[in-house]
Amino acid sequence: EDQVTQSPEALRLQEGESSSLNCSYTVSGLRGLFWYRQDPGKGPEFLFTLYSAGEEKEKERLKATLTKKESFLHITAPKPEDSATYLCAVQAPGQAGTALIFGKGTTLSVSS
Amino acid sequence: EADIYQTPRYLVIGTGKKITLECSQTMGHDKMYWYQQDPGMELHLIHYSYGVNSTEKGDLSSESTVSRIRTEHFPLTLESARPSHTSQYLCASSESLEQFFGPGTRLTVL
């Protein structure tokens, strides 16, 4: 069964304290792995798409990497405005309507 | 970035009422989706559409129905709302793999 597991569930950081979020997946024939940011009461905001192992994408303080079994979202010198829930999702052949399979997310809190 | 809109943003109604959640996108995307999200839980697909006059049920069983008469519009209807329908409903659209989400509708059924 296709599955996405994110860890940790919650992460508290001090401003400037770098860390990484993990997304482990089991899927047959990965088409793409996606990272989203979701603020409370809002819809997910698209961040990155990764297609194959070894690929990396960067945006401001965020860097996403992909291996054959997991993806990491590295946050360098985070600021309070980076506080949000970060969602990982995968798309695989055979999923209904090219739907995304989501993890439960990691809720990041950055304090100043 | 896709522009995708959902109304209402918040809705509190009584049991048995019929409701329609609206979703519109201005990017001309063929594919549209409805997901359901409960607090602390994953998003789950409840409906999707590949284009006009195309609608299918997703992996999560839902008592709601959808229609796709125009490319830009993908409304979701509950004929008789129940407390078990209380949830966050998220609409998304895509042209290729990346899906872009609307702000969501928070539905509470009393």
Distance from CA of B45 to the nearest CA of A (A): 7
User: CA nearest A36: which of A108, A85, A107, A95?
Assistant: A85
> A99 and B100 in contact by Cβ < 8 A?
no
A99:B58 CB<8 A: yes
> Can you tell me the distance from the alpha carbon of A81 to that of A76, in angstroms, rounded to the nearest whole number?
13
Distance from CA of A35 to the nearest CA of B (A): 10
pLDDT digits (tens, 9 = 90+) for B2-48: 599 999 999 999 999 999 999 999 999 999 999 999 988 999 999 99
Question: A98 in contact with B at a CB cutoff of 8 Å?
Answer: yes
Instruction: Judge: A43–B48 Cβ closer than 8 Å, yes or no.
Output: no
Candidates B10, B46, B99: best to mutate against A (most CBs of A within 10 A) is B99
Q: What is the dihedral of CA B48, B2, A102, A90, to 10 degrees?
A: 90
User: In the Cβ-directed half-sphere of A12, how many Cα atoms lie within 13 Å?
Assistant: 2
pLDDT, tens digit (0-9, with 9 covering 90-100), for B88-103: 999 999 998 899 999 9
Nearest residue in A to B95, CA atom: A98
Beta-bridge partners for A49? A34
pLDDT digits (tens, 9 = 90+) for B45-76: 999 999 999 999 887 778 899 999 999 999 99
Backbone angles phi, psi at B105, to 5 degrees: -120, 125
Any residues with CB less than 8 A from the CB of B64 and at least 6 apart, and which? B34, B46, B47, B76, B77, B78, B85
Instruction: Select from B44, B36, B98, B48 the least CA-distant residue to A46.
Output: B98
The alpha-carbon gap from B9 to the nearest alpha carbon of chain A, in Å, equals: 9
Confidence check: pLDDT of A57 > 80: yes
Q: Which of A83, A33, A81, A82 is nearest to A57 (CA)?
A: A33
Token couple for B6: 């959902």
Out of B43, B49, B103, closest to residue A42 by CB: B103
CA B69 – CA B51 distance, rounded (Å): 9
**Distance of alpha carbon A5 from alpha carbon A25, whole angstroms:** 6
Among the ranges given (A29-33, A71-75, B12-16, B106-110), the one the predictor scored with the smallest mean pLDDT: A29-33
Least Cα separation, residue A16 to chain B (angstroms): 27
Task: Evaluate whether A105 touches A85 at the Cβ level (below 8 Å).
Answer: yes
Nearest to A107 by CA among A12, A36, A5: A12
Contacts with B59 from chain A: Cβ below 8 Å: 96, 99
Structure confidence at residue A16 (pLDDT): 96
Q: What is the average per-residue pLDDT within A55-61?
A: 96
- How many Å apart are CA A13 and CA A23, to the nearest integer? 19
